[in-house]
């Protein structure tokens, strides 16, 4: 299943890269936030790869789990080694479709984005609202959604159970440029 | 008898303090000091890209999360959310090594010019069309 998914995402990437009217960023921003009574945990990733095909609305996103930067080194270490097992699953991917992309203009418009999020070797269908606008030649997508830690088979040891939220908020801001 | 009890209580307090101090230290442990730590690998941007292109899974195991000193030609210097980013790109390669610099390096990075050959040390996080390095510094 993983191999199949890998082929699909690469085909989509290649398809997007060779066709016309495509938008790309290698510097997209994704962050996640966990709030619990014990502590708040936040991590930022500024190296997100995202490709959008404005003709079909298809979107493919890839990010490296190790590119998430935490304030505390210990949190980053635990995240990579114990929770998401970055050495085994180095990337997270999203592959989906933006509905009503044909109506996009320079105003802040809301669109629906539906697709599959793959993380820690598990897939999950995601459907969320996204703010979308075209500023000069930039296609900007931003928004937030929540994910359940349990959906991705991420095991949190009982000792730190109260430190990490069961539902994590994910925010994103992707400034795509025309791919030439 | 009383003396032994006091001794025992004091030992517990002492062990408790050590345990609290140790957990506090671990919890607030700083990130690796890139400047003071030796690189695990020294190689050219071209070699690093080639390794990832040819053997991504093996290279991920070898280089990811490691400190790498990479030498290459500056293709582009840009700013991303206030921090400098240097792309090292070998001739005839579609991929680059993208180095996200630490904020304290900004002043030095501004002096750099396209085409210059430089050495950068930083932590490799993997490969996404390009090799990504974070928390980078310029090696003098």
Measured between beta carbons, the chain B residues lying within 8 angstroms of A46 are 80-81, 100
For A101-141, write each residue's pLDDT tens digit.
888 877 889 999 999 999 999 999 999 999 999 998 899 99
pLDDT at B24 > cutoff 90: no
pLDDT at A67: 95
For B93-140, write each residue's pLDDT tens digit.
999 999 999 999 999 999 999 999 999 999 999 999 999 999 999 996
* CA distance linking residue A89 with residue A76, whole number of Å: 15
pLDDT at A121: 93
For A74-101, write each residue's pLDDT tens digit.
889 999 998 999 999 999 999 999 998 8
Q: Read off the pLDDT of each residue in A35-53 and give the average, rounded to a whole number.
A: 93
Question: In terms of C-beta density within 10 A (0-12 exposed, 13-18 middle, 19 or more buried), how is residue A97 classed?
Answer: middle
B94 touches chain A (CB under 8 A): no
pTM: 0.86
Q: Collapsing DSSP states into helix, strand and coil, what is residue A71?
A: coil
B85 touches chain A (CB under 8 A): yes
Radius of gyration of chain A measured on its C-alpha atoms: 17
- Mean of per-residue pLDDT scores for chain B: 92
The interface predicted TM-score of the complex, written ipTM, equals 0.84
- Tokens, residue A36: 């619990």
Record: contact A74-B27, CB cut-off 8 A: yes
Q: Collapsing DSSP states into helix, strand and coil, what is residue A10?
A: helix
Contact B34/B67 with Cβ under 8 angstroms? Answer: yes
pLDDT at A10 > cutoff 80: no
Measured between beta carbons, the chain B residues lying within 8 angstroms of A13 are 129
Ordered alpha helix ranges (H), B28-79: 45-54, 56-63
Measured between beta carbons, the chain A residues lying within 8 angstroms of B26 are 74
Out of A62, A66, A87, closest to residue B125 by CB: A66
* CA distance linking residue A5 with residue A93, whole number of Å: 9
Please give the DSSP secondary-structure letter assigned to residue A83: I
Q: Read off the pLDDT of each residue in A35-58 and give the average, rounded to a whole number.
A: 92
pLDDT at A19: 46
């Amino acid at each position: 299943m993983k191999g199949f998914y890998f082929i699909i995402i690469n085909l989509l990437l290649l398809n997007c890269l060779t066709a016309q009217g495509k938008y790309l960023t290698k510097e997209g921003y994704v962050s996640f936030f966990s709030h619990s009574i014990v502590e708040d945990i936040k991590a930022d990733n500024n190296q997100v790869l995202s490709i959008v095909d404005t003709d079909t609305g298809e979107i493919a996103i890839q990010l490296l789990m190790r590119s998430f930067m935490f304030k505390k080194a210990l949190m980053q270490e635990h995240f990579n080694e114990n929770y998401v097992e970055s050495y085994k699953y180095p990337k997270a991917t999203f592959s989906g479709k933006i509905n009503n992309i044909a109506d996009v203009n320079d105003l802040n418009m809301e669109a629906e984005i539906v697709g599959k999020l793959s993380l820690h070797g598990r897939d999950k269908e995601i459907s969320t609202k996204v703010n979308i606008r075209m500023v000069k030649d930039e296609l900007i997508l931003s928004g937030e959604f929540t994910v359940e830690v349990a959906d991705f088979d991420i095991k949190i040891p009982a000792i730190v159970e109260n430190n990490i939220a069961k539902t994590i908020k994910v925010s994103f801001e992707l400034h795509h440029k025309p791919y030439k | 008898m009383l003396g032994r009890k006091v001794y025992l209580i004091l030992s517990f307090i002492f062990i408790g303090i050590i345990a609290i101090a140790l957990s506090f230290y671990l919890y607030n442990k700083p990130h690796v000091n890139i400047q003071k730590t030796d690189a695990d690998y020294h190689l050219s941007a071209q070699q690093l890209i080639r390794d990832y292109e040819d053997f991504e899974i093996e290279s991920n195991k070898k280089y990811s999360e490691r400190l790498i000193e990479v030498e290459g030609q500056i293709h582009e210097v840009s700013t991303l959310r206030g921090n400098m980013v240097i792309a090292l790109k070998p001739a005839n390669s579609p991929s680059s090594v993208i180095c996200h610099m630490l904020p304290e390096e900004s002043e030095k990075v501004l002096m750099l010019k396209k085409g210059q050959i430089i050495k950068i040390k930083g932590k490799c996080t993997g490969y996404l069309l390009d090799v990504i390095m974070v928390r980078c510094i310029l090696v003098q």
